[in-house]
Structure 1
Amino acid sequence: MPISWNDIRSKALRFAREWADETREAGEYQTFWNEFFDVFGVRRRTIARYQERVNLLAGGRGFIDLFWPGTLIAEHKTAGHDLASAYEQAGSYFDALPEDDRPRYIIVTDYRRVRLYDLEAEGKIEKIEFELRDLPKHINRFGFIAGWQPRTYKEENPINIKAVKAVARLADALAKNNYPRDNIPKLLVRLVFCFFADDSGIFPKDAFWRYIQFSTREDGGDFGRALGEIFQILNVPTERRQTTLDEDLASLPYVNGGLFAWNFEEGAPFFIPSFSREMRQAVLDATKFDWSGVSPAIFGSMFQAIMDEKSRHDLGAHYTSEKNILKIVEPLFLDDLKAELAEAAESPAKLNTLRQKLASLKLLDPACGCGNFLVVSYRELRRLEHEIIRRLYRKEIERKQENFLSSGEFSKLHVSQMNGIELEDFPVEIAQLSLWLTDHQMNSELSEIIGQFQSRIPLTDSPHIVQGNALALDWETIVPKAALSYILGNPPFVSKQDRSREQKEEMKLVFGALKGEGELDYVTAWYLKAAEYIQGANIGVAFVSTNSIVQGEQAGVLWPELFRRGIKINFAHRTFKWTNEAPGRAAVFCVIVGFGLSLPKRRRLFEYDNPAGEPHEITAENINPYLVDADDVVITARRAPFSDVPLAVFGNMPNDAGQFLFDDEKEKDEFLVKEPKAAKFIRPLLSAKEYLQGGQRYCLWLKGASPDEINALPEVRRRVENVREYRKMSQRAATRALAATPFLFGEDRQPDLNYILIPRVSSERRQYVPLGFFGSEYIVGDTCIAIPGATFYHLGILQSEMHMAWMRAVCGRLKSDYRYSNELVYNNFPWPENPPEEKRRAVEITAERVLGARSGFPNATLADLYDPNTMPKVLLDAHRALDRSADACYSVRTFATEMKRLEFLFGLYQHLAMGTDRKLGASKKKRAVPIQKAHPK
């Protein structure tokens, strides 16, 4: 059994260090490779040989430094040797080898550099080169040595996109010609089945196409009638058909399954459409694709392109690529089943037991849309069964024995194992169709393996897809939980601010009177509904969700409720970008959370260095609500920080109907032309937008102004009167009360000391949210947070990667942007515990250097300076120096990944929070610390 990746990485680190200074080829290369294979827990001598002799095609003999037949050639050179020529040498050995011995991988190295070639990566040669010291960063590339398969997620074939566009054009033509809209999806589902059946062996090859091409007029006048005949025949058993039928019609099989029975259902009339020349041609054009290669998993989802964009967004119908579906399916159940298959090896008893297990599994997608999660799940389960059959009947297959597999043994899996709930009727029909098409594709795959054709036409088995509201239905009535194995899906992406009135009512139905329910996204209702449904059962659950449910206020509301029901997080994908190639594609920052009542053998955490990139897997001891390998803690709002640091306060809110504000220099100057004596009351106003993107706003700040001063300024007096009237007319009692002091800002929290400024909302693209120092003459607006009396030490720690990582994990989001909260982020941040003075001073110095680096670009905005594409190197270097100084205050050198940094911070948070809460209580006030010096930028 392969060793864990954690062990492999640890051994790789030691290996890279030990061999960093070696330069000789012959002297030590065999020891090098013996120890390299040992990194993966593999004894080299059991699989690979040294100095393998080969007869070169160009004549002469060669000797392969290290040869693993069928897998690897390695060429080892002295330091500084040209690796390209080493690869050419390995290539000459490759060409000279027998076909069966030719490897997939070639490694060339000179001790200092390593170059790995994958000769079979997605149909092309893939190369990666790195310094030997960086081996731990790239160790997953060598997983094949330990028996691990490279983890890649293939994207969908473009045929799916072309096909759905062809069908969408036909739908548009039908709607344009006034064909009943509720009949369009029924007609399209039937046509798609016929397109697929014509190319995949369900129908005799091209029987459908021949009939509509040659038995109908070019003007389309009789085309609807011809389709009606086809649909009717497909619903009539062969023995009950007339003997005088057209040959192509008669060759069509009996399909059954309700797919073509709509004509005869009472109360559900199906109208045969009237076709024009153009509409007939649209159908014929659609038949030009090879529909046998269409992926039902993706096509079914993209089929909804005939819906308008608004409906697609409101219903959460985000198109889900197979690549992303597998991120749920594999860790939820598929990887474990593959491990069982590997353990079963060639044992008939174990293989049959596993096969029966596959046949007993039942899956539920309670927001199934067009069924793509169920389709991919069913397909992968069938392919596992195919491998079982291949092993059980290896001799019969190799001997090409005929008819050795009875129809009952052909496949024990059925589409009835797939269950779904969907709100709309059209996706329900597509989901059923997609699963039937998948079943046929899998039957075709198995037929090729065993060499005998098997089909499940007529349809005798149907998926159980129910139309209804998943949040209002009792899931036990859909599938008894005692029979269910897994729940999975992609519930609607609807943020708390975008919920409709109906959706708010549905959430109240699920959450009841839970405090904070109004802060939750719509998807969280599926989490709680699933958690309640699985009580007393062993059911694994996994959902795709927007990442907001593991951040900010939502994490503090949702996860305590789930933990109270015994829920444990078993695997998770941290934030990644959810995109694909579908029409009207949705691009969202998502997470995947897998959970249940019981613990797996190991907890798996998938981390992304880049949200648009590929994940790397970590084995976690525990996965907490923030998807960090740390204890289960929930960060909730605190009235004051639990460390001995200055208070952070919300900015000033004018509540003035715009009477006190001047958006730019021009507005301010125009006012002063009318009221020049008001200049003493004009103050610069800091808001997040102008602070980050440039520009300057001003405000009328009348705090401390005497009544006679205000009355002596007519324009000021007029504005104050307007504020009073505006506040008096408010529907909020608190605002009406403010009419008593109309010359003041509605909420005044202006610092009396110099302060640190934090913008409340900042782009997620920035590695660092830029903080600033300002004097008390700058009025801080309500889009910012101020920390009065802070020092350069406080600025340095807050501006460091330590605090930025904490913020990214804990803060809420506005869309995908960071939304900073003083009560949630700042007050809970674990500061260093009593660092020595020299370390504090180092932070102060490096923090000042960050501000100094900014000042070297006076014409650039902070948005320009902190854009990852344009951030000056001198500024980035200053930040990295600050990061090192801040890390030193925590008595740590550095962290290999942000995940490791967060593990440390959450552990420190637990330690500090527990001690502080015991000593101080959560709402203890903090005193301001005198500032040392101010900085204007």
Structure 2
Amino acid sequence: MTDAAAHDFIARWSGTAASELATAQSFVIDLCTLLGVDKPHATPAQDYMFERPITFTHGDGSTSSGRIDCYRRGRFVLEAKKLKAAATARSFDDGLLRARSQGENYARALPASEGRPPFVLVVDVGTVIEVYAEFSQSGGTYTPYPDPRSHRLPLADLAKPEVRERLRRIWEEPESLDPARISAQVTREVAALLARLAKSLESPAAKTGRDGTGNYTSNTAQTQYQQAQEAPEIVANFLTRCLFSMFAEDVELLPKGAFLGLLQTHRNNPATLRQMLRTLWADMDRGGFSPALAQDVLHFNGKLFKGAAEDGYSLLLTPEQIDLLIEAARANWREVEPAIFGTLLERALDPAERHALGAHYTPRAYVERLVLPTVIEPLRAAWSDAQASALVLAHEAAALEDKARDAKLAEARAEVQKFLHQLCATRVLDPACGSANFLYVTLEHLKRLEGEVVNQLEALGHTQDQLGFEGETVTLQQLRGIELSERAAALAELVLWIGYLQWHIRSRGRASVAEPVVHNYGNIECRDAVLAWDAQEVAYDGAGRLQSRWDGSTFKTHPVTGEPVPDEAAQVPQWRYLGARKAGWPQADFIVGNPPFIGAASMRAALGDGYVQALRGAWPDVPESADFVMFWWHHAAQQVAAGAVQRMGLITTNSLRQTFNRRVVQAALDAGTHLHMAVPDHPWVDAANGAAVRIAMTVLAAGSGEGRLQTVTAEQAGEFGEMTVALDEQQGLIHADLRVGADVAGAKPLQSNERLTFRGVTLMGSGFWVAPDDPLIGTEPAALKPLRNGRDLTDSPRGVYAIDFFGQTQESARTQFPAAYQRVLEGVKPERDQSQRASYREKWWLFAEPRPDMRQALHGLPRFIATPMTAKHRTFQFLPEGVLPDQGLIAFATSDAFHLGVLSSIVHLQWAAVQGGTLEDRPRYNNSRCFETFPFPAEDTPHRARIAQLAEQIDAHRKRVLTQDGLTLTGLYNVLAALREGRTLSAKEKAIHAQGLAGVLRELHDELDAAVLAAYGLPAQADTGAILAHLVQLNAQRTAEEAPGRVRWLRPAFQNPQNSPQNQELPALDGQTPEADFDCKKSLSKQEQSPWPATLPEQVRAVADALASSPVPLTLPAIEARFKGRGPWKKGLPTLLQTLEALGRAQPVAMESGPAWRG
């Protein structure tokens, strides 16, 4: 790969005039020789070859074939063209656009087993190589690499060794060119250095003010360190100024090596360095001559360098601390990744989170997974329309002469400029921006798109001088953020400015940076995003006493029990929020971000009673059971529904699908919005501490429509510990439970099922527990009840009891059961005294939630059904009368084995799996959704006796085999799952299979499933979709029946004892899933005509949409028949279709009736 060989290659291929087919393969072979890489060769695997066959599968089920000019699996798709020699702005040639679109289509059509290559190469043989990349390899848009200004490699550039090396890496190691990989290690190393420095500045050792020789420095230095210890923000601000200075010198906004030179020169004289830094930063704030550098500096402006007169503006460092700054300054700040730098720096500067610095950060690909569909995809769709419009006009210009041609080209440029104006006026808001990683990733993609638009303008004849960038370039002013933390808000501005200047200098060069370098746009607002108030004051009770609460984290040892109990002396004040109201948000076109995760049950402990009370009062339409993040989701959804925002995309916990959060989503869908994209369960990394969590992603758009539901199918640890995920995608109407298909989330609660299911008791106090060998069982047995939780059912039962004073007053409990009473007095009361709930404090001897309704429903039953609220396998079983279920169990107040059989069947298990939620990766049973909406078969079904018989047999079989030591219900059903999957059992599983007679259990369950399916009129082979669709239909039918009072009570003697009507006969259902009555030809013949749009971009979109929505290819007459209008609009259709072909939005198809196109 020598320079001489490169010059020979350039000379041989420059100006080649031969045809594409005759030259492309020879060009690639010679290029491989130049790069020193293997040449394409045919293999059975077809993994590196010319003319790689490819099959396209279309929406109507048909297929078509194509051939990739050159393909290397996992590396690239290469498409070659030979443009006309006279292809100029005045003689426009869209050949490279066609090649790029074709290459991207080929990449997406590759078999899923091969994956999508990270690069698409477009070659104009003998002239230029264009490079496009998509490193997530998940089907996103291939964008110019490394950026729109330098992705085109003229043939002469192959004389440069760095260009040849870039191409060699595309051939051999494409992952090494991923900017995220390149910058990740640099960023982590820099953040680690800064954490060491921040720790030293805030540590007690630093406060002694020792110098490099171990001697104490002046009292002034000691005072300085004490101030730093007392105010970590001083350290954060000082380091932020240092960091920006390091970046500025590496991109030559400061003289090269200026900041590093100051550190090295004055390393042994910290006091001088302190003054030099103060002088330099003050000079950077105003611009002009800087005595610290003895030369001029740019006018940086902004907030970063304000306040030079303040004591903490420049800190007095030790030589060892200066060494850490020197080491950090030597890093390549051009390569620091802003998308993760802010997160790591925030941890470095926060003493409470510094331990997490080595933990994982949120991978850029995760952020892009939300940013792209929320913000970038709609903008790229609009750009595609504008670009197509411009190309239509450019094609028309090619047929004209002189002034007429110039005027038409001017129209084409005007279409592009119109979009550029739209792009540069687009506003994006992150209402919980943290250190701005979402905003930075958005910024980078906006700048990439801007670069492509500018390239198109140049291709249409504009020069840089003519582009008039003043007011027509993407700036940070378009990106708005709200952040509660002052430190994070300051870091957000730093991250955005570093990212913006990195991109600006990389794409336009250092000379293009105008003064002032940094602007104080005020686009990051430091405030609460969901609650505003006029004043905040400490709360007092009616007697004038200060209201406070336990701080939630301080414990003391109980003097008698020795157990940790809340320390009542550790109090924090309660606050009142005066004039509390909804917080407003800045105007935006798109909202994207990652609001804080606090569960509804934890909000009072985390935020305080006063805040939560004010928040609930300000947002009455957000259910009280909803998580904190849902206030952001609801506010953003309201903006979308009102038409103020085009799309919103937010991260939430994966509990979004559960009932308490799902209500917020359903309300938004009912208000006229739809889910454009959703990922129900995805790995994530907590920004503060690096912990792995599970989240959901949702993108909401206005109007009705289908969306993309993405499901994680595989997760694999990446190089830096992040999880690389594989996704499966479904297209369809996404419901509030983040599913496509039958609208299970829309099922209504049935009266027939009401008052029969309950969550068990909540004890709240370890003093209630009684071990199986406790003497209290013998002395005061009447005060005790056997207690069962979920693990008692799924694993080995503990045999514990609970002291249950339900129905007793404090006096009667103490009189009748003094020993049990003393246990509760000492083991429960101290904790209850700190509770914010008056009922918990005042009735401390009773369970926190004694469930009187459940006790009433279970009274008189010899047994009842129970299932764990959260469990790997959903099972139901009978428990005997007298057993007390705790909050980990759901109790069903019925002793009927028919009900047990239906609940245990595949029909109910499928329904519960969709209606319920998850805790981590375990299904969670929500009785209000899983049971109360579930339509049981008719009571008089002929299969009733058989279902009850099989349920009794399953219950008895399990109870019998589980008496053996070591055998658990979870282990037994693990084996049952393995049998159904058909996988080979391990030695341990074989032992469980033999002990538990798992084969018998499987047979019993299979027979039960068949009997229950038959009771519903469903075939034994019914799949999940058919079962759910049938149940949704049946739920709607039962709801309609119940409206006039015809209720099919499950337990009429209890539910409706005074007026129990006879069960009505269930109308017959055939078990068939409702299907749309769709006749393709009939649909086409009755297609309504739409008015022909007025503007060219709208016309482009209308034709593209017509092709995309048609199940069959459309001929030109068929396309014309879709529209109506006056004027010669039909004459322009061929050119418009030709342009859509060039952009990959239409594919020509040869039909007997003539040429046709599909979307």
Q: From 208, 230, 235, give the equivalent of 1:184.
A: 235
CA distance in 1, matches of 2:343, 2:761: 48
1:38/1:908 Cα in 2 relative to 1: closer, same or farther (>3 Å)?
A: same
Q: From 816, 820, 823, give the equivalent of 2:925.
A: 820
Q: From 943, 949, 966, give the equivalent of 1:859.
A: 966
CA distance in 2, matches of 1:899, 1:289: 56
SS of residue paired to 1:173: helix
Q: Which residue of 1 aligns with 2:263?
A: 212
Deviations 1:625-656 (A, max 9, x none): 555555595567777517xxx93355467899
Tell me if the contact between 2:804 and 2:846 (Cα under 8 Å) persists in the aligned partners: no
Q: Which residue of 2 aligns with 1:137?
A: none
Q: Which residue of 2 aligns with 1:696?
A: 798
Between 857-866 and 320-329, the greater mean CA deviation after superposition: 857-866
1:835/1:228 Cα in 2 relative to 1: closer, same or farther (>3 Å)?
A: farther
Aligned ranges 1:561-576 → 2 under 5 Å: 562=668, 566-576=672-682
Tell me if the contact between 1:198 and 1:204 (Cα under 8 Å) persists in the aligned partners: yes
1:851/1:206 Cα in 2 relative to 1: closer, same or farther (>3 Å)?
A: farther
* 1:502 positional shift: 4.6
Structure 1: runs of 5 or more not aligned: 1-23, 26-31, 55-63, 73-100, 124-139, 704-710, 930-937
Q: From 180, 200, 203, give the equivalent of 1:173.
A: 200
TM-score (norm 2): 0.57
Q: Which residue of 2 aligns with 1:253?
A: 298
Tell me if the contact between 2:427 and 2:589 (Cα under 8 Å) persists in the aligned partners: yes
1:41/1:394 Cα in 2 relative to 1: closer, same or farther (>3 Å)?
A: farther
Answering whether residue 484 of structure 2 is matched by residue 379 of structure 1, we say: no
Aligned ranges 1:291-306 → 2 under 5 Å: 291-306=333-348
CA distance in 1, matches of 2:622, 2:748: 11
1:849/1:513 Cα in 2 relative to 1: closer, same or farther (>3 Å)?
A: same
SS of residue paired to 2:262: helix
Q: From 374, 379, 387, give the equivalent of 1:332.
A: 374
Answering whether residue 862 of structure 2 is matched by residue 753 of structure 1, we say: yes
Residue identity opposite 1:878 in structure 2: R
Deviations 1:595-614 (A, max 9, x none): 354346x4232233468743
1:172/1:884 Cα in 2 relative to 1: closer, same or farther (>3 Å)?
A: same
Aligned ranges 1:85-104 → 2 under 5 Å: none
Tell me if the contact between 1:802 and 1:901 (Cα under 8 Å) persists in the aligned partners: yes
Q: From 872, 878, 898, give the equivalent of 1:773.
A: 878
Aligned ranges 1:307-386 → 2 under 5 Å: 308=350, 320-343=362-385, 344-345=387-388, 347=391, 348-349=412-413, 350-386=415-451
Residue identity opposite 1:690 in structure 2: D
1:529/1:206 Cα in 2 relative to 1: closer, same or farther (>3 Å)?
A: same
* 1:253 positional shift: 2.9
Answering whether residue 308 of structure 2 is matched by residue 263 of structure 1, we say: yes
1:808/1:720 Cα in 2 relative to 1: closer, same or farther (>3 Å)?
A: same
* 1:738 positional shift: 8.5
* 1:717 positional shift: 5.5
1:681/1:42 Cα in 2 relative to 1: closer, same or farther (>3 Å)?
A: closer
1:715/1:699 Cα in 2 relative to 1: closer, same or farther (>3 Å)?
A: farther
Q: Which residue of 2 aligns with 1:487?
A: 591
* 1:284 positional shift: 1.0
Between 278-287 and 558-567, the greater mean CA deviation after superposition: 558-567
SS of residue paired to 2:655: helix
* 1:828 positional shift: 1.7
Answering whether residue 919 of structure 2 is matched by residue 919 of structure 1, we say: no
1:559/1:282 Cα in 2 relative to 1: closer, same or farther (>3 Å)?
A: same
Alignment root-mean-square deviation, CA: 5.5
1:169/1:846 Cα in 2 relative to 1: closer, same or farther (>3 Å)?
A: same
Between 849-858 and 382-391, the greater mean CA deviation after superposition: 849-858
* 1:920 positional shift: 4.4
SS of residue paired to 1:591: strand
Tell me if the contact between 1:235 and 1:260 (Cα under 8 Å) persists in the aligned partners: yes
Deviations 1:387-429 (A, max 9, x none): 22223324889xxx9x667672796111100111111221121
Answering whether residue 736 of structure 2 is matched by residue 624 of structure 1, we say: yes
Between 226-235 and 901-910, the greater mean CA deviation after superposition: 901-910
Tell me if the contact between 2:360 and 2:685 (Cα under 8 Å) persists in the aligned partners: no
Q: Which residue of 2 aligns with 1:197?
A: 248
SS of residue paired to 2:261: helix
SS of residue paired to 1:543: strand
1:284/1:802 Cα in 2 relative to 1: closer, same or farther (>3 Å)?
A: farther
Answering whether residue 655 of structure 2 is matched by residue 548 of structure 1, we say: yes
CA distance in 1, matches of 2:360, 2:434: 9
Residue identity opposite 2:934 in structure 1: F
1:447/1:514 Cα in 2 relative to 1: closer, same or farther (>3 Å)?
A: closer
Aligned ranges 1:47-66 → 2 under 5 Å: 47=67
CA distance in 2, matches of 1:895, 1:200: 64
CA distance in 2, matches of 1:559, 1:71: 45
SS of residue paired to 2:878: strand
CA distance in 2, matches of 1:191, 1:900: 63
* 1:439 positional shift: 1.2
1:276/1:772 Cα in 2 relative to 1: closer, same or farther (>3 Å)?
A: same
TM-score (norm 1): 0.70
CA distance in 1, matches of 2:861, 2:765: 22
Answering whether residue 513 of structure 2 is matched by residue 455 of structure 1, we say: yes
CA distance in 2, matches of 1:145, 1:277: 49
SS of residue paired to 1:262: coil
* 1:372 positional shift: 1.6
Tell me if the contact between 2:497 and 2:518 (Cα under 8 Å) persists in the aligned partners: no
Q: From 671, 695, 708, give the equivalent of 1:604.
A: 708
CA distance in 2, matches of 1:319, 1:256: 31
CA distance in 1, matches of 2:1051, 2:341: 59
* 1:188 positional shift: 1.7
Between 460-469 and 291-300, the greater mean CA deviation after superposition: 460-469
1:738/1:47 Cα in 2 relative to 1: closer, same or farther (>3 Å)?
A: closer
CA distance in 1, matches of 2:912, 2:185: 40
Tell me if the contact between 1:793 and 1:840 (Cα under 8 Å) persists in the aligned partners: yes
SS of residue paired to 1:615: strand
Q: Which residue of 2 aligns with 1:587?
A: 692
SS of residue paired to 2:313: coil
Aligned ranges 1:114-263 → 2 under 5 Å: 116-117=113-114, 120=117, 157-176=184-203, 177=206, 178=225, 179=228, 180-213=231-264, 215-218=265-268, 220-238=270-288, 241=289, 245=291, 248=293, 250=295, 252-263=297-308
1:491/1:277 Cα in 2 relative to 1: closer, same or farther (>3 Å)?
A: same
CA distance in 2, matches of 1:466, 1:263: 23
Tell me if the contact between 1:789 and 1:928 (Cα under 8 Å) persists in the aligned partners: no
SS of residue paired to 2:517: coil
* 1:791 positional shift: 5.2
CA distance in 1, matches of 2:903, 2:658: 19
Answering whether residue 339 of structure 2 is matched by residue 288 of structure 1, we say: no
Residue identity opposite 1:458 in structure 2: P
Residue identity opposite 2:736 in structure 1: N
CA distance in 1, matches of 2:311, 2:1050: 70
Q: Which residue of 1 aligns with 2:92?
A: none
SS of residue paired to 2:683: strand
* 1:816 positional shift: 7.2
Aligned residues: 786
Q: Which residue of 2 aligns with 1:443?
A: 504
Tell me if the contact between 2:267 and 2:323 (Cα under 8 Å) persists in the aligned partners: no
Residue identity opposite 1:159 in structure 2: V
* 1:902 positional shift: 5.6
CA distance in 1, matches of 2:595, 2:908: 32
CA distance in 2, matches of 1:174, 1:681: 60
CA distance in 1, matches of 2:1048, 2:1015: 25
